[in-house]
Amino acid sequence: MADKTKEMKFHRILVGVDDSHDAQLAFYYAVRYAAENDAELFIVSILESDEMNVYQALDDDYVHGERGALEEHILDFKQQALDSGVKHVTTMIGEGSAGKTIVQDVIPQVEPDLLVVGSFDKPGIARRFGSQAAYMSKYAPCSVLVIR
């Protein structure tokens, strides 16, 4: 049984972050796990273009401003992880739909053992079609932990 336990250790943790409560919980779990197990931590945040109106999406200054704010914010996450004892932290920013971008672009690049995400669902019609977390759980080629 001890041999199987060693096999279940995760060495490369990818965590998706945003400002939702559940994503914050996912981040804290991933940081704690990475620090306790000397795992690499990859922090990703996605600039979701579907949350911008057409005028914002066409305004390069607006998009660059949003990306700049996101870059600053993700560096705060990185510093928190380093301060918590995680030795190897990498940050990434993607653009597009969070679930698809993480599954199709980020995971193949990072090759994580574990993806940790919050279960945040958008209100309204988006909830009927499934959350980003459900999409990632279904299509990610690695283990997925959904935190709520």
Number of domains in the chain: 1
Q: Is residue 46 part of a domain?
A: yes
pTM of structure: 0.81
Question: What are the angstrom distances between the C-alpha of 135 and each of 20, 100, 101, 121?
Answer: 17, 8, 11, 11
* 137 lies in some domain: no
Please report whether residue 109 resides in a domain.
yes
Q: What pLDDT is recorded for position 142?
A: 97
Residue 66: per-residue pLDDT: 64
List the chain residues with pLDDT less than 70.
1-7, 49-67, 120-130
Which residues fall within 8 angstroms of residue 90, CB to CB, at 6 or more apart? 40, 41, 42, 43, 110
| pLDDT score for 119 | 87
Sheet containing 12-16: order of strands? 89-95, 40-47, 12-16, 114-118, 143-147
- Selection from 107, 137, 121 nearest residue 14 by Cα: 107
Q: What pLDDT is attached to residue 62?
A: 42
Kindly state whether residue 127 falls inside one of the protein's structural domains: no
Residue 97 in domain: yes
- The CATH number given to whatever domain includes residue 41 is 3.40.50.620
CB 67 within 8 A of CB 39: no
Residue 29 belongs to some domain of the structure:
no
Decide if 72 is inside a domain.
yes
**Do residues 15 and 112 lie in contact, with contact meaning Cβ atoms separated by under 8 Å?**
no
Domain coverage including residue 62: 35-121+142-148
Instruction: Say if 15 falls within a structural domain.
Output: no
